Structure 1
Amino acid sequence: MPERHAPGDRLAVERRTIEAVPDSERHGTPRSQFTLWFGANMQITAIVDGALSVVFGADALWAIPALLLGNLLGGIVMALHSAQGPRLGVPQMISSRAQFGVFGAVLPLLLVILMYLGFAATGSVLAGQAMSAMLHVGTSAGILVFGALTAVVAVTGYRLIHVAGRIATVVGALGLGYLMVRLFTQYDVGAHVGGKGFDAATFLLAVGLGAGWQLTFGPYVADCSRYLPRETSTRATFWSTFAGSVIGSQWAMTLGALTAAVAGKAFLPDQVGFLGDLAGPAFLAFLVYLVIVVGKLTVNCLNAYGGFMSILTTVTAFDRRSRVTPATRAAYIVGFIAVSMVIALAASDDFLNNFKNFVLLLLAVFTPWSAINLVDYYLISRERVDIPALYDPDGRYGRWNAAALGSYLIGIAVQVPFLATKLYTGALTRKLDGADISWIVGLLATSALYWLWARRSANPPDETVHPALPEPAGVPAPPAA
């Protein structure tokens, strides 16, 4: 499909926020989703996520297929969210008002904002360490420099984020490919793999880490596909997003699992430094640090972009706005990044353990949300949405939706006996030898409950209702391609 904008506006500051994107501004092909999500996953936090499966007890021989299984299962859910973007042209959390109501969607939104802050902060810690090694400054200074870079790209918006994704795809493939080769040439990897037998608890932990990684993209993945032309194939959008995210994350997590297997406790104190040492001479170490920064820049921009969208969606639920000025948009993004920097600067030294518990806790919160959104969109509403009503508390979807909110809260509650986190271990988890299957229980229970409850009260339109959107006041129409 041809681009609908002239190449000259590629780095122009994005003017759309939470309103529906008109057809005149739709552009691109599904290939852009592959490079964006491949690049966003080829980064050090995914390496750490894979390393956790080995650090907390699994043998890499079993951890790698378990991570793959988790990435495949979670990737299906994540890509189904992405496929909604071209059809609706609105941010993901705006579309969830169709299930929860205009006010009711605020409940999961508040948790989404916390998630974005958490991932932005933890990613900034690792990127700050890489910046520190590159620039020979303190880690705090590295975090601040990285925050400034994130602000520039995120404020510029959608197009520049996709450019960053394409760069991260190439840089990440070369950098992580090189590190994989170095790992096998510097260590006897075979001697560190296969020493332990199969253990169900650690296997399921690794599955949960892989699935949790993918599921946490769900609340913002359609933000990155909503500019695709409306006629874009749902199948093409799904597979491009799925392949990019799963291949990228599995590559990085496999490197992480093998690195943790050969490094043992040496990987725990300084993950960034260990990878720099693995790279070899100082110049190559510098390039690996650059790979880390580029990869983290892409995904942190997505976190800031999605965080801004979620905050604005929350605020506008009560004042009925559907758009804000560019200056307000920039202020939201910079404010979000500033808060994440403060959290990063105060981060605990126990980074790995805290990150593991953070990911597993997010699973319990976002699995029910994903179940409700997907069951409603694909099975109950059958992809028919009244888009103008998403911005009107007095419209078709109302202020609150009891079926969605009730199913969501019950979906979280049914997971509690199956949780296995540092703060709480469920009674049934102990009987399963510590295996965490809470996200599976939450996904199945919430899907079934919401389907039974909502199908009797749902009122979807006969076909999707698209708004007639005028151009923003004072802003000229985009040039013809």
Structure 2
Amino acid sequence: MADSLVERRSIDVVPDDERHGKAFSQFTLWLGANLQITAVVSGALAVIFGGGAFWSLIGLLVGNLLGGAVMSLHSAQGPRLGLPQMISSRAQFGVRGAVVPLLLVVVMYVGFFASGSVLAGQAVGELTHLGQTSGILVFAVITALMAAIGYRVVHVLGRVASVVCALAFLYLGIRLLDRIDLGAALADRAFDLPMFLLAVSIAASWQLAFGPYVADYSRYLPRHTSSRATFWWTLAGTTLGSQWSMAFGVLVAASAGEAFLDDQVSYVVSLGGTGLIASLLYFVIALGKLTINVLNTYGGFMSMVTGISGFRGQRALSQRGRSAYIAVIMIAGTAVALLGKDTFLTSFKDFLLFLLTFFTPWSAINLVDYYLISRERYDIPALSDPDGRYGAWRWDALSVYAVGIVAQLPFLATTFYTGPLVEPLGGADISWVIGLLVPALLYWLLARRDTTHIPAATITSPDRVPAG
């Protein structure tokens, strides 16, 4: 079982005798997952929507560090619990109440699958000469097959992509710097607070969006794995990879303008050359997107199972069921990709900021509960029992989650909605800061009043009840 390539586990806890690997695996996985074309486009958005290159680079770094730290705190939960990330949310929201944030998580995965497929479809279409639509379809099928194999292939992809994509981005970076005047691109040092905060928000939302599934990829690590090591290797990989890609995107957008907007993938490839070089770069772009899209598909099916199983009482999933859930994610994501491929850039920016509104309160509640209230102590069998210590619905956490969302609305700035406090702040969007701080404080104040549901130590099986 432990040596099988095809994963058998899904939402069930990973036993100690099936644990393997070292914390360093989180570095290669998240480095490879972030050295890819969508991260390049995300960085470019900071300039495309009005920011200067110099302060955009700094804003993106701040956002990647802040969001990456939150994301890495989630990663450190994996070895301790041996569970997918969203299963642990049942301890805060209830076995069935966790479906509320889970619905939005599934929307996120479908959206990221779609956005990744648009860009990867361009690369696959050019590489195979089939065109973008066929490229999207081919890419979607390969993604689904990889996700069905599961955890081991995810980490293999991460290791391969971390090396291949790093070499490709190093080459492209040299080619870009040879074509542009770096001093001129960074010459504008005028500070614009709204644009700076937009850059911070873009990067922070990029990192926070990994939060609902990051522990899925650390849960097979041995239980004794250092939480600090897991945290720091995850943070190093995700921050280095994303900042590298986004900085490249900033410089491309600052120097290329409309040429980049017309066809992001083809323009990036054109920096490298033609012929065989171009084909290799299209392959690298497809490989980078395959890595992250497999993560999104895998996380999507985990979230769907978590939500539905809370009502059905499932503790495990068959291979046939696994394939069916993955197929649903693939079909939905592909449909969105085909429908939205012509308005990609504008839609993607709003999608990122939209996600941030709903996931910062979830992250705040989950982390406060894990580190400050429960202090890493959970009754794992009870996470599947709506009549157990966590109950079916935990209305205190759900109420805090709702307040966290509503509290952000006055500070939110998107094309389809702008809050009343955005203009007094000079157009700056600080909603994600409110979305972290308000629910974190409220949940801490409420949850600490009643801790009778918290076991004295983590319970891993129904037979094991801790002393005290």
TM-score normalised by the chain length of structure 1: 0.95
Post-superposition shift, 1:446?
A: 0.8
**Structure-2 residue corresponding to 1:253:** 246
- Partner-residue secondary structure (3-state), 1:447: helix
Post-superposition shift, 1:188?
A: 1.8
Aligned runs of 1:311-460 on 2, under 5 Å? 311-458=304-451, 459-460=453-454
Query: Which region of structure 1 is more displaced relative to structure 2, 13-22 or 342-351?
Result: 342-351
Give CA-to-partner distance per residue, 1:30-82, whole Å, 9 cap, x none. 11111111100000000000000011111111100110000000011000000
Give CA-to-partner distance per residue, 1:378-413, whole Å, 9 cap, x none. 001111011010000000100111211011000000
The 1:468/1:172 distance shift into structure 2, 3 A limit, reads farther
**Structure-2 residue corresponding to 1:33:** 26
- Partner-residue secondary structure (3-state), 2:456: coil
Contact conserved, 2:11 with 2:316, CA < 8 A, in 1?
yes
Contact conserved, 1:183 with 1:189, CA < 8 A, in 2?
no
The 1:324/1:190 distance shift into structure 2, 3 A limit, reads same
Aligned runs of 1:23-422 on 2, under 5 Å? 23-195=16-188, 197-422=190-415
Contact conserved, 2:381 with 2:462, CA < 8 A, in 1?
no
Inter-partner Cα distance in structure 2 for 1:64 and 1:414: 29
**Structure-1 residue corresponding to 2:466:** none
- Partner-residue secondary structure (3-state), 1:429: coil
- Partner-residue secondary structure (3-state), 1:72: helix
**Structure-2 residue corresponding to 1:467:** 461
Contact conserved, 2:118 with 2:341, CA < 8 A, in 1?
no
- Letter matched to residue 456 of structure 2: D
Aligned positions, number: 462
- Partner-residue secondary structure (3-state), 1:336: helix
- Letter matched to residue 153 of structure 1: M
Post-superposition shift, 1:330?
A: 1.3
RMSD: 1.2
5+ residue gaps in structure 1? Answer: 470-481
**Structure-2 residue corresponding to 1:479:** none
Contact conserved, 1:189 with 1:262, CA < 8 A, in 2?
no
Inter-partner Cα distance in structure 1 for 2:450 and 2:285: 49
- Partner-residue secondary structure (3-state), 2:11: coil
Post-superposition shift, 1:468?
A: 6.4
Aligned residue among 2, 8, 13 for 1:15: 8
Query: Which region of structure 1 is more displaced relative to structure 2, 229-238 or 185-194?
Result: 185-194
Contact conserved, 2:147 with 2:295, CA < 8 A, in 1?
yes
Post-superposition shift, 1:457?
A: 2.2
Inter-partner Cα distance in structure 2 for 1:418 and 1:114: 23
Contact conserved, 2:53 with 2:188, CA < 8 A, in 1?
no
Inter-partner Cα distance in structure 1 for 2:284 and 2:227: 32
Give CA-to-partner distance per residue, 1:281-318, whole Å, 9 cap, x none. 22111111111101000100000000000000111011
Contact conserved, 2:353 with 2:414, CA < 8 A, in 1?
yes
5+ residue gaps in structure 2? Answer: 464-468
Contact conserved, 1:63 with 1:206, CA < 8 A, in 2?
yes
Contact conserved, 2:90 with 2:98, CA < 8 A, in 1?
yes
- Partner-residue secondary structure (3-state), 1:335: helix
Post-superposition shift, 1:350?
A: 2.0
Post-superposition shift, 1:335?
A: 2.2
Contact conserved, 1:37 with 1:241, CA < 8 A, in 2?
yes
Inter-partner Cα distance in structure 2 for 1:111 and 1:42: 26
Contact conserved, 1:47 with 1:254, CA < 8 A, in 2?
yes
Inter-partner Cα distance in structure 2 for 1:315 and 1:402: 19
Give CA-to-partner distance per residue, 1:221-279, whole Å, 9 cap, x none. 00000001111111111111111111100000000001100011211121001011111
- Letter matched to residue 459 of structure 2: V
TM-score normalised by the chain length of structure 2: 0.97
Give CA-to-partner distance per residue, 1:75-134, whole Å, 9 cap, x none. 110000000000000110000000000111000000000000000000000000000111
- Partner-residue secondary structure (3-state), 1:29: coil
Post-superposition shift, 1:215?
A: 0.2
